[in-house]
């Protein structure tokens, strides 16, 4: 494995080869993962001369990637922060020139970050920028709201934190074990007419789902901005 960096060498992966020379990286690697801030991509000096490139940048489309990197073998993927613990969900889309062999290599690399699906359209990938690319941020926002409410009621902050983290972990484990989807789970709790039903109905009445939809729309709009000239750094 060979990795490049711009200013300070990261204190990770001590067994990897690190370099400041992108041209050296392009020469030695058979597949290149491109991971920089989208606004910085324009200044990246690397031409990989037909090799396989896998982007993890939001907002940079396949045509732009292909033109700047000098290859028609391009994959656009959107992992999230949970890739750090190999629990990301990563949608990806390929350029028309990708071979079956390239797809196998790309899927093997991307699946190392967690679960993955190849999508048919870049428009779908753009939408997933918010839905899954934001990753743990959405449950973290919910957890923060729950913990803050507990603290206002006199609960110790550390106890509140452990409680909400356990709730999220348990929910994830249940979804993995059961075939029920979110719609089924919500309906089951609402139909039970207990305390959870009261909580869900109050949240729904407070436009919880509208707020989520607005957030996803904002993420989609930002992804388009990142790929435009307006969103690029000067």
pLDDT for res 233 = 38
Q: For residue 230, what pLDDT is reported?
A: 43
For residue 210, the model assigns a pLDDT of: 94
Residue 71: what pLDDT? 93
Q: Which residues of the chain register pLDDT less than 50?
A: 230-234
Are 232 and 42 in contact by the 8 Å Cβ rule? The answer is yes
Q: What are the pLDDT digits (tens) for 125-173?
A: 989 988 998 888 999 999 999 999 999 999 999 999 999 999 999 988 8
Alpha helices (runs of H) in 53-181, residue ranges in sequence order: 62-69, 100-111, 122-131, 137-152, 157-177
pLDDT of residue 124: 92
Q: How many whole angstroms from its chain centre is CA 44?
A: 22
Helix (H, G, I), strand (E, B) or coil at 118: strand
pLDDT confidence of residue 229: 56
Query: Which of 129, 61, 69, 124 has the alpha carbon at shortest distance from 95?
Result: 61
Domains of the chain by start residue, with CATH: 2-124 (3.40.50.720), 137-224 (1.10.3730)
For residue range 122-136, list pLDDT tens digits in order: 999 989 988 998 888
- Tell me what pLDDT residue 228 has: 67
40: left (phi over 0), alpha (psi -120 to 50) or beta: alpha
What separation in angstroms does the CA of 109 have from each of 79, 113, 127? 11, 8, 22
Q: pTM here?
A: 0.80
Q: What is the model's pLDDT at position 231?
A: 46
Position 29 scores a pLDDT of 87
Q: Where are the beta strands (DSSP E) in the chain?
A: 2-4, 17-19, 31-34, 52-55, 74-77, 88-94, 114-118
Query: In degrees, to the nearest 5, what angle opens at C-alpha 49 toward C-alphas 133 and 108?
Result: 40
d(CA 59, CA 39): 9
Residue 175: per-residue pLDDT: 84
């Amino acid at each position: 494995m060979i990795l490049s960096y711009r200013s300070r060498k990261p204190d990770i992966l001590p067994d990897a080869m690190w370099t400041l020379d992108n041209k050296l990286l392009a020469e030695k690697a058979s597949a290149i993962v491109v991971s920089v801030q989208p606004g910085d991509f324009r200044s990246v000096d690397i031409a990989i001369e037909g090799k396989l490139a896998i982007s993890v940048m939001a907002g940079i489309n396949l045509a732009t990637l292909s033109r700047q990197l000098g290859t028609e073998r391009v994959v656009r993927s959107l992992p999230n922060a949970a890739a750090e613990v190999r629990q990301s969900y990563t949608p990806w889309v390929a350029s028309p020139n990708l071979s079956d062999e390239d797809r196998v290599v790309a899927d093997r690399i991307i699946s190392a970050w967690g679960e993955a699906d190849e999508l048919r359209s870049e428009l779908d990938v753009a939408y997933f920028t918010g839905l899954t690319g934001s990753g743990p941020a959405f449950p973290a926002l919910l957890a923060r709201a729950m913990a803050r409410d507990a603290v206002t009621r006199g609960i110790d902050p550390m106890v509140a934190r452990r409680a909400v983290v356990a709730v999220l972990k348990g929910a994830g484990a249940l979804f993995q074990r059961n075939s029920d989807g979110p719609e089924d789970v919500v309906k089951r709790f609402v139909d039970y007419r207990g305390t959870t039903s009261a909580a869900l109905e109050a949240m729904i009445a407070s436009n919880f789902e509208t707020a989520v939809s607005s957030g996803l729309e904002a993420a989609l709009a930002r992804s388009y901005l990142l790929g435009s000239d307006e969103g690029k750094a000067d």
